[in-house]
Structure 1
Amino acid sequence: MSEKDWKKQRRFRQGFASLLQKILKKPLQQTPYTGPLHSVVILAQEKYGDAILLTPLLKQLKQQFPAIAIHVVTFSKATYEFFRSDRHIDTLHCTKGNVWNYYRQMLTKRFDLLFNTKDHPSTSFILQSIIIRAYRKAGIDCEYHRGIYDYLVDLDFHTQIALKNCGLLSILGKPVLSDMCRPYIPPMPVSPAILQFITSLSDRPCIGINISAGGATRYWTEENWLKLTRAFPERQFLVLSAPTEREQKARLERHCPNIIPSPETANLYETNLIVGKTVLLVTPDTAMVHVASCSGIPVIGLYGIAAQDQSRFRPFLVTHRMLISPTALVKDITAEHVIVELNLLLGK
């Protein structure tokens, strides 16, 4: 999408939200929610990283309110598959696919509480917030949510997303402590090849490198990955990648004798099991930063210059180094810079 189109869409979202604010004019509730709490519906964001950072809230809701029925609405098939086996969710819904079935299920229900996890105006999320019937509706505070929701999570925009999601607990009169908010990956099928590989790593401490990224600006170059692994000939590495980088992964494994060839993973749970066996992970700003948080694995994160990415999606509850590019492009972080930081984390 061009910058012109992106700005046009942003103006439309803001205009749509502003119109609803003038129509609805909901007064903001200042005291914690004390109404019925038998059911809650949560609007989950579309990307894997956002999905991972929602899991602490799901876990805490079940722990703090064991009888609550948690309904999660997903807006992509990928996040639907991610949450399918989450034991904290009672019912999972997807806006994609059979639209008639989705609306038939949702419009025949009335929930006690709805929570929109977006911290900026989204037309689809605001529409669902209005269409879905709930006694009270909550969102995250931003200029375009005031007047639309009964309750707003009042945290700084740059607060880490896992903490921002768990801010719903404060609306329910419960404390939010960082240590309570470690994310997790719901269990998914694991292939025999992955199980065998994980077992083989038990006596081989290695460094993980994730070569995939969520967008064109976030990729680090193959040349840089080669420089990094060759700078530590005494260390063993393993490469993690999405299917789109399969060939690059194979080349790195062929050209670097200290890279352990690894089987392809079929889901994030398999990836999480492998990451949990590493001593450290080097990755661009992607969901893999948060996969490492699930297992408490130290991270070197490679970030672009955008401040909101560095703050809202920073490594969470793990030892970490954040390397910031002088530009919007992660590839402008030098290999030498990463080598220095890796030496520091390895204790050299």
Structure 2
Amino acid sequence: MFRRILIIGHSNIGDVCYDLIVVGQLRENFPQAKISFLTSHRAYDIARSCSGVDKIFLLDALRGARGLARQLKLIGLLRKENFDVAVVLKRSLMHLFLGIPCSWSLTSATRSVSLKSQQHSADRYLELLRAKGIKLHEAAVTFAISDEDNAFADNFLRHKGITADVLLVGILPIAAWSLKSWPIARWNALAAILKNRYGACVIAFGKSSDDPFSRAVLQQISPGIISALDKTSLRQAMALMKRCRLFIAPDSSLLHVASCMGIETIGLYGATSPDCFYPYFHRQNVIVSKAKLECLPCCPGRGEIVCNKEFEPAPCMEAISVEELDSAIRKILKL
């Protein structure tokens, strides 16, 4: 019976969403255990929102220390916790220096665990637990939204004159990599259709950058779209997303957050492959570009980006039509 469990997770929000899928499984099997999670400051909010995580350690949170000195300080802090088992979900050797008697490493288990090359990371993690004798329950990630963040969402909607009976649709017009984004003109056209045909309100989520693409989106976004761009923390965004019946986004952190939250989700894929990193709980809703391009997908690992696009959506994303997306929305929401 394990009493102190350390999960060594990733640093990016989208990856951490699926790291957290092991938390509920471990909690079900070891209800009295203290579960700690190691990640980066970037993913802190998503990790601390997960029900079942008792303590969070950050790779980059030790002030006044850099490089090897910071690593040694972190190792010292972790060793004091006297963990019984480390669940290692990324390529890392840190657990070898923590004095933990038992470790379950995804990388070292590939010889004994049946893992497919085109397998979602969440399935790989669950298969690892199964191989270690963990009785698996229905996969889920449970997030706790604070009263403060719920109040923010309620006030945001109230200020915009949106009542509880209005159909809310969330969108993400700015992806971290512009090639993954859908053109802002298409978002504007879709928002007009959703408003005029179904009486829906569209809310834009996300963060902008100081680059030509982000600036163009901020300038060209329709006044008919309610903008929450750059106006929320991650936890506030999650509280606001919780009120949406549908969330639509390219491959991005918030797409995966929405899927893990149980929000009906549509993922738009072109530049990136949906084969092994799709919105896990809504794979059936993924729309893949039908563009006939030899370079697809250019990520991950297909070499040079041949379309030579910078700070604008890729041709493959431009090939996804408003009509195709509207048809999917009507089917999913039964409109």
TM-score (norm 1): 0.72
**What's the counterpart of residue 274 of structure 1?**
240
Mapping for residues 140-219 of structure 1, pairs under 5 Å: 140=106, 145-146=107-108, 153-177=113-137, 180-187=138-145, 189-190=148-149, 192-198=151-157, 200-219=162-181
Which of 21, 39, 43 aligns to 1:79? It is 43
Paired with 1:219 and 1:171, the residues of 2 have a C-alpha distance of 38
Partner of 1:221: 183
Q: Flag structure 1 segments of 5+ consecutive residues without an equivalent.
A: 1-35
| SS at structure 2 position matched to 1:41 | strand
Matched residue SS, 1:234 = helix
CA distance in 1, matches of 2:319, 2:52: 39
Q: Closer, same or farther in 2 for the Cα pair 1:87/1:282, shift >3 Å? A: closer
Report the CA distance between 1:69 and its aligned residue.
Answer: 2.1
What CA distance in whole angstroms lies between the structure 2 residues aligned with 1:222 and 1:187?
30
Aligned to 1:342: 329
**Paired AA for residue 280 in structure 1:** L
1:202 Cα deviation (Å)?
A: 0.9
1:211 and 1:283 in contact (8 A); partners too: yes
Unaligned 5+ segments in structure 2 are 63-69, 298-313
| Contact 1:52–1:184 (CA under 8 A) maintained in structure 2 | no
Whether the 8 Å contact between 1:110 and 1:135 is mirrored in structure 2 is no
- Written as runs of structure 1 = structure 2, the 5 A alignment for 1:1-348 is 36-74=1-39, 76-84=40-48, 86-98=50-62, 99=70, 100-118=72-90, 122=91, 125=92, 127-140=93-106, 145-146=107-108, 153-177=113-137, 180-187=138-145, 189-190=148-149, 192-198=151-157, 200-232=162-194, 233-235=196-198, 236=200, 237-244=202-209, 245=214, 248=217, 251-254=220-223, 256=224, 259-262=225-228, 265-304=231-270, 306-307=272-273, 310-318=274-282, 320-325=284-289, 326=291, 327-328=296-297, 329=314, 331-336=317-322, 337-347=324-334
Shift of 1:44: 0.9
- CA–CA distance in structure 2, aligned partners of residues 261 and 234 of structure 1: 21
Describe the superposition over 1:253-295 as per-residue Cα deviations: whole angstroms up to 9, x where unpaired.
42x3xx3455855333322222222222211011222222234
Distance in 1 between the 2:183 and 2:6 partners? 41
* SS in structure 2 at match of 1:111: coil
How big is the alpha-carbon RMSD for the aligned residues of Structure 1 and Structure 2?
A: 3.0
Residue 289 of structure 1 aligns with an amino acid whose one-letter code is L
1:201 Cα shift? 4.0
TM-score calculated relative to the size of structure 2: 0.75
1:40-78: CA deviation from partner (whole Å, max 9, x where unpaired): 21111111112222223112212221122222211x211
Distance 1:131 1:215, change over 3 A: farther
Separation in 2, partners of 1:286, 1:176: 28
Question: Structure 2 vs 1, CA of residues 153 and 37 (structure 1 numbering), >3 Å: closer, same or farther?
Answer: farther
Letter in 2 for 1:67: Q
String of CA shifts for 1:162-218, please: whole Å, max 9, x gaps.
Answer: 3332334313423334xx222233445527542223564411112221113232321
Give the 3 Å change call, closer, same or farther, for CA 59–239 of structure 1 in structure 2: same
CA distance in 1, matches of 2:218, 2:332: 24
Contact 2:183–2:318 under 8 Å retained in 1: no
Q: Which amino acid aligns with 2:287?
A: L
Question: What CA distance in whole angstroms lies between the structure 2 residues aligned with 1:80 and 1:295?
Answer: 17
Counterpart residue number, 2:311: none
Give 3-state SS (helix, strand or coil) of 2:18's partner: helix
Please, which moves more after superposition, 220-229 or 81-90?
81-90
- Contact conserved, 1:205 with 1:277, CA < 8 A, in 2? no
Deviations 1:230-262 (A, max 9, x none): 3342332222222435873574242x3xx3455
